[in-house]
Structure 1
Amino acid sequence: MRNFTFLSILIATSFFAFSFKSFPDKNRSIDKAIVSYEEVTVNTTAINAFFKKYPKLKKYQKDVEDIYKAKQYKSIWYDDKSITELGALLYQKVNVLKDQGIEDKMPYKDVIDEAFNESDNIDPPHIDTELLLTSMYVFYASNVYSGVDPATLKKIGWFLPAKSISYARILDSLIVDSDRLNEDDYLLFKQYYKLQDALKKYRKIEKDGLWQKITIDSATYKDMRPDDTAIAIKQIRNRLFVVGDLNRDTGSDIYDEELMLGIMKYKKRYNLKLNYVITRDHINQMNEPIGKRIRTIMLNMERCRWIPTKLARAQEFVMVNIPSFRLFYVKNDKIDLVSDIFVGNRMNETVIFSGNMDRIVFSPYWNVPNSIVQNELKSQIASNKNYLAEHNMEWNGGKVRQKPGPKNSLGLVKFMFPNPNDIYMHDTPAKTLFDFENRTFSHGCINVKEARQLALHILKDDPDWPVDKIDKAMSGEKETTCMLKNKIPVYIGYFTCWVQEDGEIHFYPDVYGRDESLDKLLYSSDALTMKD
């Protein structure tokens, strides 16, 4: 039977219930429960007996065994006559697992509660508590630090490098520094903690009942513009104040200059065309339940769990986020260039994977994929014998290719990172397509609006490729290849919300329906039952 003081329970509960990032001062330990001493003996016999007694934890047995082998079968959670401070902190973390965007439940949580509950006289055997806490640690670490297993990730089409972690090594680090249980950039992608703050904010909005519906008459609705007056404008103003796009709510029903600034901020966060018009589609978007926003944040926290943190620590890399239709070139831990892009359509979805850019090809040929020849060009060639010549194309070894030039479908430069999907980044002559909000137009490749600038930024420290040489190579006269001296990692990801450097959360369209499928995988009643 554990015997915490009332004050220590109050302190621990306050810290974990109201501030995920708050932790007790390192020099002040949580009071430990004093018990009649019972030596804890861990061995394979005890472990086998434990998992027979608690069969719902069976899937954690191998990990538990590996941890105790690494610890030479010594007790982890007992310090003389009490559960360690780390054990108490881990228990509190599992009590507020919802703050991590996780709805899974720890099996036999009621038995673990008994070890920390001073109001009853039930005290589980110490060997049970010891192994329950180790199982609880594996449960917590697998849910928070790992997420979906690598095999499942491949099934859902996520081919970025899989994270590999050791529960034993993580536990060692937590024993040395329990603050790492609160935040650890070597275990979780930094974006995770930013999304966690956003989750807390949106849940508070939901709890306080501040997400009020914006009322319009669908039959008579007209787009709203500056200087218009409407009840809906007053409601929109309140919504923008609640989410932080406005600093105050004046209660005015006039579309004034202050609201104009708030609308621009809102549209920027939702990747919408930047103008002052408020359409019915915008109202419908604002009227989506706040629960949908919360779920979107939770789903993207899960995606962050899959990212090996070392990826973001690379000195130089390119990140493509499909739903935001943007590319980021990062160098020396700073965003060096941002460019709009367009990606594959629903019939030719851009694959979520990574590669290493090894060369830049200026004024490239476009070797037309056979599928496009068969499905699109064949009929055109049959009906117009001059079709290839009119489109600057030619036969080459039994295949069709488009010659270099300003009208080449790849534009004037392409960025190659060899991969089995035959996906790469390239320029495009179809610049007007970047004016659309939803940019799913390609056959799978990534079309880059600022392709020339990307080449300049990548090669700016290479004395062999000055600006004038790059411009000449991009003249469209002949294909020229630049082999990079250092390969650059390219990560193509899928995040439907993202917290920017300024702390503002942006939401993006689920263009490939990935949120819906991931939601079913993680949060459907069947999925939660399978986890128990």
Structure 2
Amino acid sequence: MLSRPRKLSHYLGASCFAVMSLVVSLPTTATSQVTAFKQAVAEAAARDSDLAAYYRQNGYQPIWTGMDDIDLKRRQALLDALADADDHGLPAARYDLDDLMTQLSAAKTPRDVGLLEVELSKTFLQYAKDVQSGMFKPSSLDSGIVRSAPVRDRQQTLAAFELSKPAQYVRDLPPSSPEYTRLMKEKLRLERLIADGGWGPRVSAKKLEPGDSGKAVVGLRNRLHTMGYLGRSASRSFDTDIQKAVQAFQLDHGLEADGVAGQGTITEINKSAEDRLKSVIVAMERERWLNLPEGKGARHVLVNLADFHARIVDHDIVTFKTRSVVGKNQSDRRSPEFSDTLEHMVINPTWNVPRSIATKEYLPMLKRNPNAVGYLRLIDSRGQVVNRGNVDFTQYSARTFPFDIKQPPGNRNALGLVKFMFPNKHNIYLHDTPAKSLFARESRAYSHGCIRLHQPFDFAYALLAVQQDNPKQFFQSKLKTGRETQVDLDTEIPVHIIYRTAFTNAKGPVQFRRDVYGRDAKIWKAMANEGVALRSVQG
């Protein structure tokens, strides 16, 4: 556990003169010295094609180490940002502020200054990329994270910075979303909590419920109090106040809010502040991956796989929310994370069975009994329905199976009565389902990868409300025909399928969820390997 790092004032106490007076190392009267500076810049930048192109375009002029006041302001803005890198859950050692300050102090010759000039640009670009778009290429950490982080053009970043007010430009690099701001606030709160000792002893029990008493209940009471869910109490029994506190905790952690501290609830209560801090830091990295230049969209659909919910968000306010079922935690079923655009819905959809399901699940059944799954239709290459009685299914393998399988519209259709399409290469979409019982479960990872919605009709009404005077009547009129009907959205809506074990609401405590796919554990491991460390902060 690290304490809060030293701020820039620590460095400036010893090196302020170097930061302020570096310009004396660049006399403008000696052509040879200017040439030596430019040669050093060209030499150092040559190892980086973007830097080489940038400095070649600007005639190898300094933007950090020149004689103008703006150069000082740029240096100051960068050094301030590096000193605060830990605030964003970034590895301060990655930018080596100590080494930069040493170079600032030691730069004596035009060549030294030229090399320093390029080093400052490299460090700036690394920091700008990390804090704006994230440290990693998402898919390199887990194959299910198929989104691309919105990395900005490095030459354009330098050019824009050169023309900007430096301090303001650097302050604007991190995501400006309310979610990122609230996550940073929670990070600081947890760091202060850790400095004060965390939430105290773990609860030693497998299950506690109303009417229980004894040391374990006292331990539960004390931990709920330090977590902020319970006022001061001397009770040694599991009373109504403790039950209400347990329910509140359960609601904030995606658990069934029955007021009973079962094994799952106690496991979550016993999670340390350090564990929660890891989730928050990972969530900040994930939010940087979503830091799109155009934003998430004034209206967008947000599906949090770890939370098992889908939401419609309008101007950062959740205007609709429904439970969801997501992909089962198996290698070929986990729902991927990506962003796309919702274009239309299909009422009374036909289910075109994915080939993987057709060959892995249905073909073995058909080999045993050609009349199995009679509600499904076999379609040949000409688009004709196949008479099963004329087919010997035993002759086919998963590779040679020549038919498509379809399920016509109806109440038994696997997609239910409506699906919501954002065409993508992953073949993922949102849809209704006849299997309603799964929505009552606490953990809802059961599908083949697509997202099932608990209230698909209400979801459809909410989407149609902006283009239909009576969206419910319009939808129901199409539904009653029993025919497959495509309804286009007048305005396409961004869809973001995300995975957050820590996320915020506009009001109330930060929400935490289980790492159902183990993806956040992988991200934290990668961040820790890069030098991200938990720290404590004195209040």
Trace 1:198-217 onto structure 2 (pairs within 5 A). Answer: 198-216=186-204
Query: What is the CA-CA distance between 1:405 and the residue it aligns to?
Result: 1.9
Match of 1:479 among 484, 500, 520: 484
Determine if the alignment matches structure 1 residue 176 to structure 2 residue 165: yes
Gap regions ≥5 residues in structure 2? 1-5, 28-33, 385-402, 534-539
Aligned partner of 2:130 in structure 1 is: 143
Determine if the alignment matches structure 1 residue 245 to structure 2 residue 229: yes
Deviates more, 1:258-267 or 1:422-431: 258-267
The aligned amino acid for 1:181 is V
Deviates more, 1:283-292 or 1:354-363: 283-292
Aligned partner of 1:87 in structure 2 is: 75
Match of 2:213 among 219, 229, 233: 229
Deviates more, 1:254-263 or 1:137-146: 254-263
Determine if the alignment matches structure 1 residue 421 to structure 2 residue 405: no
Distance (whole Å) between structure 1 residues aligned to residue 19 and residue 92 of structure 2: 28
CA displacement 1:462-507 (0-9 Å, x = unmatched): 2387422311323472222212222222221222211221152111
Aligned partner of 1:162 in structure 2 is: 149
Distance (whole Å) between structure 2 residues aligned to residue 48 and residue 507 of structure 1: 50
Determine if the alignment matches structure 1 residue 113 to structure 2 residue 107: no
Structure-2 change in CA distance of 1:65 and 1:252 (3 Å): farther
The aligned amino acid for 2:167 is S
Query: What is the CA-CA distance between 1:229 and the residue it aligns to?
Result: 2.5
Distance (whole Å) between structure 2 residues aligned to residue 362 and residue 333 of structure 1: 29
Determine if the alignment matches structure 1 residue 432 to structure 2 residue 437: yes
For the 8 Å contact 1:67–1:167, the answer to whether it is kept is: no
CA displacement 1:385-433 (0-9 Å, x = unmatched): 65434xx333343433222222221111111121122211100111110
Query: What is the CA-CA distance between 1:232 and the residue it aligns to?
Result: 3.0
CA displacement 1:99-125 (0-9 Å, x = unmatched): 2112252465433223677xxx99784
Aligned partner of 2:517 in structure 1 is: 512
Query: What is the CA-CA distance between 1:444 and the residue it aligns to?
Result: 1.0
Trace 1:463-502 onto structure 2 (pairs within 5 A). Answer: 463=468, 466-475=471-480, 477-502=482-507
For the 8 Å contact 1:425–1:446, the answer to whether it is kept is: yes
Structure showing greater relative contact order (alpha-carbon pairs closer than 8 Å, 6 or more residues apart): 2
For the 8 Å contact 1:226–1:255, the answer to whether it is kept is: yes
SS for the counterpart of 2:63 is coil
Distance (whole Å) between structure 2 residues aligned to residue 308 and residue 506 of structure 1: 21
The aligned amino acid for 2:249 is Y
Determine if the alignment matches structure 1 residue 335 to structure 2 residue 318: yes
For the 8 Å contact 1:412–1:476, the answer to whether it is kept is: no
Distance (whole Å) between structure 1 residues aligned to residue 341 and residue 42 of structure 2: 46
Query: What is the CA-CA distance between 1:340 and the residue it aligns to?
Result: 0.8
Structure-2 change in CA distance of 1:33 and 1:156 (3 Å): same
For the 8 Å contact 1:433–1:439, the answer to whether it is kept is: yes
The aligned amino acid for 2:270 is N
CA displacement 1:428-467 (0-9 Å, x = unmatched): 1111101112111111111011100111111113238742
Aligned partner of 1:273 in structure 2 is: 256
Structure-2 change in CA distance of 1:393 and 1:226 (3 Å): same
CA displacement 1:305-349 (0-9 Å, x = unmatched): 211334545233212111111111123543221111011112311
Q: CA RMSD in A?
A: 3.6
Aligned partner of 2:3 in structure 1 is: none
Deviates more, 1:293-302 or 1:514-523: 514-523
Identity rate, percent: 25
Query: What is the CA-CA distance between 1:207 and the residue it aligns to?
Result: 1.7
Structure-2 change in CA distance of 1:399 and 1:457 (3 Å): same
Trace 1:15-414 onto structure 2 (pairs within 5 A). Answer: 33-34=20-21, 37-39=24-26, 41=34, 44-50=38-44, 61-69=48-56, 71-78=58-65, 80=67, 84-103=72-91, 105-106=93-94, 109-114=97-102, 125-150=112-137, 153=140, 156-170=143-157, 172-173=160-161, 175-176=164-165, 178-184=167-173, 187=175, 189-216=177-204, 221=206, 223-246=207-230, 248-310=231-293, 312-347=295-330, 348-383=333-368, 386-389=371-374, 392-396=375-379, 397=384, 398-414=403-419
Deviates more, 1:300-309 or 1:519-528: 519-528
For the 8 Å contact 2:150–2:293, the answer to whether it is kept is: no
Gap regions ≥5 residues in structure 1? 1-9, 17-29, 53-57
Distance (whole Å) between structure 2 residues aligned to residue 525 and residue 333 of structure 1: 32
For the 8 Å contact 2:322–2:453, the answer to whether it is kept is: yes
Distance (whole Å) between structure 2 residues aligned to residue 509 and residue 493 of structure 1: 14
For the 8 Å contact 2:211–2:237, the answer to whether it is kept is: yes
Query: What is the CA-CA distance between 1:49 and the residue it aligns to?
Result: 4.5
SS for the counterpart of 2:189 is helix
For the 8 Å contact 2:19–2:104, the answer to whether it is kept is: no
Aligned partner of 1:459 in structure 2 is: 464
SS for the counterpart of 1:319 is strand
For the 8 Å contact 1:343–1:445, the answer to whether it is kept is: yes
Q: TM-score, normalising length from structure 1?
A: 0.80
For the 8 Å contact 1:395–1:401, the answer to whether it is kept is: yes
Distance (whole Å) between structure 2 residues aligned to residue 309 and residue 395 of structure 1: 43
SS for the counterpart of 1:283 is helix
Query: What is the CA-CA distance between 1:153 and the residue it aligns to?
Result: 4.7
Distance (whole Å) between structure 1 residues aligned to residue 23 and residue 173 of structure 2: 36
Aligned partner of 2:395 in structure 1 is: none
The aligned amino acid for 1:409 is A
SS for the counterpart of 2:343 is strand
For the 8 Å contact 1:145–1:188, the answer to whether it is kept is: no
Query: What is the CA-CA distance between 1:272 and the residue it aligns to?
Result: 0.7
For the 8 Å contact 1:32–1:85, the answer to whether it is kept is: no
For the 8 Å contact 1:68–1:74, the answer to whether it is kept is: yes
SS for the counterpart of 1:37 is helix
Aligned partner of 1:21 in structure 2 is: none
